[in-house]
Amino acid sequence: MVVNGAAIEFKKVRKTYGNFVALESFSMNVAAGEFMTLLGPSGSGKTTALNSLAGFTDITSGDILIDGVSIARVPTEKRNIGMVFQNYSLFPHRNVLGNVAFPLEMRGVGRAEIRKRSLKALEIVRLGGLAERMPHELSGGQKQRVAFARAIVFEPRVLLMDEPLGALDLKLREAMQLEIKQYQQQIGCTVIYVTHDQGEALTLSDRLAVMDKGLIRQLGTPQDLYDRPNSRFVAEFIGLNNIIKISGSKHDGAIVDGLGVIRFPSEIQPSQGYLSVRPEHIRRTPTGGHPAIVRQAVFLGDAVRYVVETRNGAELTLAEPRSGENSSLDPGSEIAISFEENRLIHLPE
């Protein structure tokens, strides 16, 4: 089962419910075969974006194109889009094979062909041996695999997944993330995946769009968004981050609250906005640096995370990989810290 994924284009899509704007000028291109994720807090418009592509929601204005053709007048069932939801929505009185076969029955495929293709889809999700089981006899992970098999059995060129792993516990969720990625690579379909879990988005995506209040705040590869967030919102949403206010500038750097003059890698030093620095880009330094006191030490196994306070009152989190048997610093310890200068980021807002 190999398909050519379709290219998707959202063009200034707007969706309102009365006075409420659920999507605002939502524009996004997804390349054929790409794995795109919409990441954002609850209520940011992720499901609305998926549903408007699938045809479950009418858009107020704008357009959506699949392979360059507007789907405005294409009925839902003709859009050839597979969907997976968080709650599986399996038919309780049909066995696994019957569930997976359903979309083919709807399309009037012949019986022998239905059986062959359904078993093939079950093989992809490694449930070949469970075709006769009933949904209540399956674990959460197995139910989600059945839902996935049902979504791909008619070989859609686009697969939409709306928080598909939300009901699973962390360990299973992480295992399923890798599986989903493998299935997609095997099948070749274009995926738009919705999650509010930033770790999941970083693991799965070719690119991701961070959403807030119906708007895309930033769109890029996981590395782009982690290394170069464009705003406080994105910097705080993805990974751990220290964000400190800038209150002015001098010729040799920005004036940062609690830290004094800090030199950014850019030529022009910012005079407002925020300094952003990841915990792994702050080091303890034997000489020089900013004097600080350890307030909290958190043992993480492979690293120790310290919350420190500088002499002028900036609170920072730094992460130090553990090497050898050395013990971690106790709260109250006096240290000095320095920044990896080329990793300092200026957030304008």
Catalog residues that contact Mg ion under the rule CB under 5 A: 47
- Environment class of 46 (CB within 10 Å of its CB; exposed 0-12, middle 13-18, buried 19+): buried
CB of 84 to ligand ADP, least distance (A): 14
- Shortest Å distance, C-beta 20 to ligand ADP: 6
DSSP 57-122: S--SEEEEEETTEE-TTS-GGGS-EEEEETT----TTS-HHHHHHHHHHHTT--HHHHHHHHHHHH
Nearer to Mg ion, 85 or 306 (CB): 85
Stretch binding ligand ADP (CB under 6 A), from 25-33, 44-52, 111-119, 184-192: 44-52
Token pair recorded at residue 57: 């929601």
Which residue, 83 or 101, has its beta carbon nearer to ligand ADP?
83
CB 15 → ligand ADP: shortest distance, Å?
Answer: 8
What minimum distance in Å lies between the beta carbon of 180 and Mg ion? 18
Residues 48-77 vs ligand ADP: string with x where CB under 6 A? x-----------------------------
CA distance 231 to 276: 9
Task: Give the span between the Cα atoms of 298 and 150, in whole angstroms.
Answer: 44
Contact residue for ligand ADP among 25, 31, 43, 335 (CB under 6 A): 43
Question: How far is 216 from 214, CA to CA, in rounded Å?
Answer: 7
Query: What is the β-pairing status of strands 158-162 and 20-30?
Result: unpaired
Q: Which stretch binds ligand ADP (CB under 6 A): 36-44, 80-88, 276-284, 319-327?
A: 36-44
Residue 327 contact among ligand ADP, Mg ion, none, beta carbon within 5 to 8 Å by kind? none
Of 47 and 190, the one with the shorter C-beta distance to Mg ion is 47
Comparing CA positions, the residue from 71, 53, 68 lying closest to residue 158 is 53
Q: Segment contacting ligand ADP (CB under 6 A): 38-46, 79-87, 228-236, 307-315?
A: 38-46
Task: State the first-to-last Cα distance of the chain, in angstroms, to the nearest integer.
Answer: 47
For the chain, the helix, strand and coil percentages under 3-state DSSP, each to the nearest 5: 30, 35, 40
46 is a site residue for ligand ADP (CB under 6 A): yes
Between 84 and 100, CB nearer to ligand ADP: 84
Tell me the CA distances in angstroms from 186 to 2, 4, 5, one per residue in order: 7, 11, 12
- Judged by CB under 6 A, does residue 40 bind ligand ADP? yes
DSSP 25-55: EEEEEE-TT-EEEEE--TTSSHHHHHHHHHT
Closer by beta carbon to Mg ion, 44 or else 317: 44
Query: How far apart are CB 45 and ligand ADP at their closest, in Å?
Result: 4
The residue (of 48 and 269) whose beta carbon lies closer to ligand ADP is 48
Judged by the rule CB under 6 A, the positions of this chain that interact with ligand ADP are 17, 20, 22, 40, 42-48
